[in-house]
Amino acid sequence: MRRDATVWTGVQGVLAPLQFLVFLVSVGLVIRFLVTGEGEASATLSVVIKTVTLYLIMVTGCIWEKVVFGRYLFAPAFYWEDMFSMLVLALHTAYLAALIGGLLQAHQLMYLALGAYAAYVINAAQFIIKLRAARLDSRADAGETRAMA
């Protein structure tokens, strides 16, 4: 009930699909650059925007987790999802550090971005599976309550 009662659930419900849309556009731009050599600036900007949306959803997700579970991170219900989120954050942050520091060539940066994106897809799937299971459990609980009444 706390999950459904907090405004942060709605915030996550808006940010998650937005981040996924940014991800899809960025993947297309990154692959286009890797295949054709064209659009480096667009691909780079798209990865930066994807990283900013990731940071935004992570901060608001921590607030959501605090409201719902009493902890900003690593609540038992989302422990493994949060652990993998740290990898996703590390890879995206490594991209920004390499970009700003001039540590990698453009193609290397794009491969790093794709690695970060692969981790993001796994992490997003973790959260979707977990939240879907929670929704199904809450529906089952509601059905039991109606049956008992």
- Tens of pLDDT, residues 37-50: 999 999 999 999 99
* Percent of the chain's residues with pLDDT above 70: 89
Contact 57, 16 (CB under 8 A): yes
**Residue carrying structure tokens 């491969």:** 111
Tens of pLDDT, residues 110-122: 999 999 999 999 9
Cα-Cα-Cα-Cα dihedral of 132, 134, 137, 139, to 10°?
-70
Domain positions in the chain are: 2-144
Q: Residue 10 has what pLDDT?
A: 81
Q: What is the pLDDT confidence band of residue 138, given thresholds at 50, 70 and 90?
A: low
pTM of the model: 0.84
Q: Helices 40-69 and 79-101, interaxial angle, to 10°?
A: 150
